[in-house]
Structure 1
């Protein structure tokens, strides 16, 4: 299936928004956020510090009377410069373009399966700046197989999982982890759609380089095609 056809398929799965964050939080309590390298506000604190990020996110949520801040697909971000896991000297190969959608919310916020699925794989990706505990679901809809990734979870989320274990749409699958277990980030969910897992297991690149962007845009389409939560331009 070509990328355009797959994107159309994703957008038609549900006419209504699909939830990956605790559904007791109304969508009216969501606010979009832009944390790309061009945002001047991000030069006013230490972006290498997860504690400073928590203060920034919490202040942003308070300012907008929101509980969840979301966004980030294909953002070019400076935050990854702090980790050798992403940082390269060559700008063409430096991995700094974000391939998923982030949902910034309180630690231990429940994470939901947006669709019926089963566990493809899971892993604690412990390298600094990585996902931390990660779950990947496999979905089969209308004869089409694809995958969704959930990163930056609490460790308990993967303690009793089994490959092949089924989850229903709306079922709690995990919760958001604290910085000390989630790769050293302010609490948030990294949600990503993956067309083909290739040889990856319990992991998949969530950030790519400019050089490889076209390839990964095809592998990882915009999550908002499925979730339908984006409703405006981020404001500071």
Structure 2
């Protein structure tokens, strides 16, 4: 995805907005109360407090982070009678207000629009297909959207860079999260169905999945 052909715009318009790096990793000991995802009120209050304290519109980060907040049954895998958790984050999160517009970073087309109804899942989700150098396909995934994003996008399957494609969903529709965008780049679906492709990996599988989910930082300039 390198080369002069790759000139994306950020999936969220950050021009003139205050942005801070937001570290939700298990090594950030300033966030001990976020050790479990089921503590949603404390999680949402902490995100809001962090942004307010720094007078920030958006908090951005998360690629490759190991997050203890995923140590719930929704992210568990049972192997040889032992429970392990998917804790390695495969995308970048942009934390902000519900209804924040989301735009296409590059020209592309709607590859899939679906609703992940699992607790702690993506909620309404879009996947766009793009073409890189050599006409090779790659994909961008947008999770935790508003419900209207799904119907609106099926009516407009082709998108241009900068077109609005979605908005941040509120907690009640976005998989039970504080409002934010999960943005992930995927170069190969491996053996997964696209709607089942993980946004968080087991530590034992992280290297394989990070290899096909490169760091989205270039999309943010």
1:218 aligns with 2:215: no
Normalising by the residue count of structure 2, what TM-score does the alignment of the two structures yield? 0.88
Match of 1:54 among 44, 61, 65: 44
Match of 1:136 among 118, 123, 127: 127
Match of 1:33 among 22, 44, 54: 22
1:227 aligns with 2:217: no
Task: Decide whether the 8 Å contact of 2:70 with 2:85 is kept in 1.
Answer: no
Q: How large is the Cα RMSD of the aligned pairs?
A: 2.3
Normalising by the residue count of structure 1, what TM-score does the alignment of the two structures yield? 0.83
Q: Give the aligned partner of residue 197 of structure 2.
A: 204
1:99 aligns with 2:84: no
Q: Offset at 1:174?
A: 0.4
Match of 1:43 among 28, 32, 46: 32
Match of 2:54 among 55, 64, 80: 64
1:171-190 deviation digits (Å, cap 9, x = unpaired): 11001111121111111100
Task: Decide whether the 8 Å contact of 2:35 with 2:71 is kept in 1.
Answer: no
> 1:118/1:50 Cα in 2 relative to 1: closer, same or farther (>3 Å)?
same
> 1:201/1:71 Cα in 2 relative to 1: closer, same or farther (>3 Å)?
same
Task: Decide whether the 8 Å contact of 2:9 with 2:161 is kept in 1.
Answer: no
Q: Give the aligned partner of residue 77 of structure 1.
A: 67
Q: Offset at 1:202?
A: 3.4
Task: Structure 2: state its 5+ residue gaps.
Answer: none
SS of the residue aligned with 2:120?
coil
Q: Any runs of at least 4 consecutive aligned residues in structure 1 with deviations exceeding 4 A, and if so which?
A: 89-93
Give the distance between the partners of 2:34 and 2:122, measured in 1 at CA. 23
SS of the residue aligned with 2:41?
helix
Give the distance between the partners of 2:157 and 2:104, measured in 1 at CA. 13
Task: Structure 1: state its 5+ residue gaps.
Answer: 1-5, 229-236
Which structure's residues are more often strand, by fraction? Answer: 2
